[in-house]
Amino acid sequence: MNGADEPLLIAEGLTKWYGRQLGCRDVSFDIHEGEVLAVVGESGSGKSTLLQILSSLMTPDAGCVRYRMRDGVTRDIAALTEAERRFLFRTDWGYVHQDPAAGLRMAVSAGANVGERLMAIGARHYGRIRGSALDWLARVEIDPDRIDETPQNYSGGMRQRLQIARNLVTAPRLVFMDEPTGGLDVSVQARLLDLLRGLVAELGLAAIVVTHDLAVARLLSQRMLVMKGGAVIESGLTDQVLDDPREAYTQLLVSSILPP
């Protein structure tokens, strides 16, 4: 079986309740290798809930997530052992948190932050680990001279770029991002988006990017899902959805946020 045509990840009927509060309902889609999918919607629409289910940080009440592993076999992630799931999470996946402090070890150096995943999968050559870290710092435009500083000294934009490097060092095929540019100044956002766009294209990454910023969706993604009240109300090619929204809600979103 040649896997390249098969979806990388398939979501089927994902539903999550927090007690009586709906998180998300009956979300289905799939994503292929190298594809960037944006998930947009207002606050409370269920974007983060969906991302956490997809990345196995949370279990859904109904539905399943299937993922095509590096060996080409597509598996239900709920059926993986905990060890397999954690291994997947720190090798073939990346997860970029909105708050970099949640995704970094703030007390250890930038080099160790980047090298940790390599060490976790058995790298035992200091010189090579450091070499990869230097390489990755350069690729996310962090001065390699600052490799031994902790991210405590870094600006918000640098921390976010460090978090990205830390995730990409194991060459994941899929990266989850929850508001990766949230909380940053506009000019810093633009630089980060540029960088992300370049990396995603260069590495052929698949990414699922949660954002309430339609400009982010426009710049990064080929396809998008629009969520409202926990459900996907519209989906399609990003340019099509943004230029010619079908749902009244999406029209409202587009007209209120995107300059013409």
Partner 1 sequence: MTVTYNFAYLDEQTKRMIRRAILKAIAIPGYQVPFASREMPMPYGWGTGGVQVTAAILGPTDILKVIDQGSDDTTNAVSIRKFFGRTAGVRTTTRTADATVIQTRHRIPETPLRDNQVLVFQVPIPEPLRFLEPRETETRRMHALEEYGLVQVKLYEDIARHGHIATTYAYPVKVDGRYVMDPSPIPKFDNPKMSDCPALQLFGAGREKRIYAIPPHTRVASLDFDDHPFERWRHPGRCALCGADDSFLDEVITDDHGTRMFVCSDTDFCEARRAAGHGPDAPGATAPDPARGTEASHG
Footprint of ligand ATP on this chain (CB under 6 A)?
18, 21, 23, 41, 43-49, 212
Residue 246 near residue 234, CB atoms below 8 Å:
yes
Residues between 94 and 133 with contacts to partner 1, criterion CB under 8 A: 105, 107-109, 111-112, 115-117, 119-121, 123-127, 129-130
Single out the residue of 53, 147, 184, 214 in contact with partner 1 (rule: CB under 8 A).
147
> Of these partners, partner 1, ligand ATP, Mg ion, none, which one is at the site of residue 116 (CB under 5 to 8 Å by kind)?
partner 1
| Shortest Cβ 45–ligand ATP spacing (Å) | 4
Q: Which does 213 bind (CB under 5 to 8 A by kind): Mg ion, partner 1, ligand ATP, none?
A: none
**Residue 41 partner contact from ligand ATP, Mg ion, partner 1, none using kind-dependent CB cut-offs of 5 to 8 Å:** ligand ATP
Amino acid making up residue 237: L
Among 26, 148, 185, 247, binds partner 1 (CB under 8 A): 148
Q: Does 52 bind Mg ion (CB under 5 A)?
A: no
Per-residue x/- marks for partner 1, 42-81, CB under 8 A?
----------------------------------------
Q: Which residues bind Mg ion (CB under 5 A)?
A: 48
Q: Which residues bind partner 1 (CB under 8 A)?
A: 82-83, 86, 105, 107-109, 111-112, 115-117, 119-121, 123-127, 129-130, 147-148
